[in-house]
């Protein structure tokens, strides 16, 4: 029975997240998707069984919510296989904590919510971080409820929604018809917290954020893989054609044109002769000279030292003369796909080349670049440019804002995933960065979701997915005079939970077990 309940939760969580059936997620399923898992843990007597159940849940939910990883070029085993196996292990380890705090206690729902929040926090930081599949994502369209993230980050919301699931599991575990006094108190606390979050959200969304300048931008979505054999020149033609269309729609008064991640696969730094003659009918560098605009383009960045040449997955900022004004190299690459630790060791390199078929990797970026351009009004606009899934990491985007960025511009290529649900999952993850820091986030992607997200997480404009199209628009840059509390203080909430749970673990435990309703 416990195994069946665990499998059920492993299916319900991916069904609540953005998927092919519920493209933007399903908050109703999100309110109880963890209940079967929590209930199964409540009835489990042994630590080992609790860890095995957690591992089972982790494997099923990870595979079902990230199935599109199998389309990552020819590395299906390395991507979906390694991620699923790895998270079986991660969930097994955390299963020990889930089981430990699932023991009967008047405050068990709060303990379970705290542990779940910490699990999602630690899952989302560090080199191996992968902040997909969090319990908050099914609720991504309930914007008034989400504004509290500018105080405590996404983690306050993780606590709220996991607490709701734990509360329902507690009712089922005790007596849903005749709840105990502890259940009633937990319910009152949960209801009061939701009202508090909603009240803050409506207040926050009713607060005007001053407009500091305007950015006339053209976002290009070519919907073609630039790495595909023989398609490089055709890809460049489409990018230039769409750019011309967007600039003309803005009547030539354009500040910035943005091309997605890896739009130019050859490093411009080393390949000027190539871009001076390709495409042959209108070379790229000649094309730039027609427009009085900056171009932000996904392009490998080369760094040379005395003994080696390193290539980073990067973006470059160009002026109309084709001069590279500044560059940024991706600082948080996809682990074990874009970057492999100790790859310079011959035996490691030989394994990945011969066994896995991975021929090369990106070097790590070495600085948080703040790009600077001038608006039509002559004002300086500063922005950070997180690449691909870097917009999923609060710590990294927060660094850009603290370094002086007025907004964030993300360049992404998720088109290889072939699924709209994969594109929307990334969009949902990214919109929380706008809410946390109350800044505009612009996304230029290969296949979707190319869009502009407002400081409250609202979608200002977007393009349909998997279509070759362009989005020209004037974006108001909104910026408060002070940073949000979260921008200033970062991840204080999970650290507070960690301290509280650690104190609990180190303290004396005089809690006695309640009678098991299943008679075990």
Tokens of 502: 């650690």
Angle ∠(110,432,161) on CA atoms, nearest 5: 20
Q: Give the active site residue among 2, 123, 330, 438.
A: 330
Contact 51, 92 (CB under 8 A): yes
In the block, tokens 């200033």 appear at: 488
In the block, tokens 């917290």 appear at: 193
- Give the torsion through C-alpha atoms of 274, 277, 279, 283, to 10 deg: 110
Residue 120 annotated as catalytic: no
What is the CB neighbour count within 10 angstroms for residue 235? Answer: 21
Residue 2 annotated as catalytic: no
Residue 388 annotated as catalytic: yes
- For residue 177, the number of C-alpha atoms closer than 13 Å in the C-beta half-sphere is 0
What is the CB neighbour count within 10 angstroms for residue 332? Answer: 21
Q: Give the active site residue among 2, 88, 123, 388.
A: 388
Residue 371: exposure state from Cβ atoms within 10 A (0-12, 13-18, ≥19): buried
- In angstroms, the CA 61 to CA 9 distance is 8
- In angstroms, the CA 204 to CA 214 distance is 23
- Give the torsion through C-alpha atoms of 462, 21, 35, 180, to 10 deg: 80
Q: Give the active site residues.
A: 261, 330, 388
């Amino acid at each position: 029975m416990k195994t069946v309940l665990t499998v059920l939760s492993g299916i319900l969580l991916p069904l609540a997240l953005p998927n092919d059936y519920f493209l933007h997620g399903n908050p109703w399923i999100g309110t109880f998707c963890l209940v079967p898992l929590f209930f199964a843990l409540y009835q489990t007597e042994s630590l080992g069984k609790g860890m095995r159940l957690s591992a089972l849940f982790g494997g099923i939910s990870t595979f079902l919510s990230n199935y599109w990883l199998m389309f990552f070029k020819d590395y299906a085993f390395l991507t979906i296989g390694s991620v699923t196996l790895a998270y079986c292990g991660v969930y097994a380890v955390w299963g020990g904590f889930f089981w430990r705090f699932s023991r009967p206690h008047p405050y068990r729902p709060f303990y379970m919510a705290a542990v779940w929040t910490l699990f999602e926090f630690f899952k989302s930081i560090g080199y191996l971080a992968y902040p997909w599949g969090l319990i908050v994502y099914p609720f991504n369209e309930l914007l008034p409820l989400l504004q509290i993230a500018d105080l405590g980050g996404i983690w306050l919301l993780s606590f709220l929604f996991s607490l709701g699931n734990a509360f329902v599991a507690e009712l089922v575990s005790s007596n849903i018809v005749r709840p105990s006094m502890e259940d009633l108190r937990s319910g009152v606390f949960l209801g009061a917290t939701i009202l508090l979050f909603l009240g803050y959200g409506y207040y926050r969304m009713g607060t005007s954020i001053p407009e500091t300048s305007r950015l006339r931008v053209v976002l290009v979505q070519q919907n073609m893989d630039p790495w595909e054999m023989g398609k490089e020149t055709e890809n460049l033609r489409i990018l230039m054609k769409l750019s011309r269309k967007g600039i003309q729609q803005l009547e030539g008064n354009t500040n910035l044109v943005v091309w997605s991640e890896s739009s130019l696969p050859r490093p411009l730094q080393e390949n000027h002769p190539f871009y001076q003659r390709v495409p042959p009918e209108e070379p790229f560098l000649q094309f730039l000279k027609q427009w009085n605009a900056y171009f932000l383009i996904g392009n490998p960045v080369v760094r040379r030292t005395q003994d080696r040449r390193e290539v980073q997955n990067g973006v470059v900022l160009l002026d109309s003369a084709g001069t590279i004004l500044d560059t940024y190299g991706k600082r948080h690459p996809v682990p074990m796909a874009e970057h492999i630790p100790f790859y310079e060791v011959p035996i490691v390199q030989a394994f990945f080349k011969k066994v896995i078929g991975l021929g090369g990797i990106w070097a790590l970026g070495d600085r948080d670049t703040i790009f600077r351009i001038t608006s039509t009004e002559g004002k300086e606009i500063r922005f950070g440019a997180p690449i691909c899934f870097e917009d999923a990491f609060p710590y990294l985007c927060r660094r850009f804002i603290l370094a002086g960025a007025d907004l964030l511009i993300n360049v992404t290529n998720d088109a290889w995933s072939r699924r709209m649900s994969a594109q929307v999952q990334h969009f949902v993850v990214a919109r929380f960065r706008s809410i946390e820091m109350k800044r505009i986030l612009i996304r230029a992607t290969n296949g979707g979701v190319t869009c502009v997200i407002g400081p409250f997480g609202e979608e200002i404009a977007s393009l349909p997915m998997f279509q070759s199209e362009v989005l020209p628009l004037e974006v108001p840059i909104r910026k408060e005079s002070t940073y949000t509390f979260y921008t200033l203080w970062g991840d204080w909430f999970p650290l507070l939970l960690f301290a509280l749970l650690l104190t609990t673990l180190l303290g004396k435990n005089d809690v006695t077990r309640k009678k098991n309703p299943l008679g075990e």
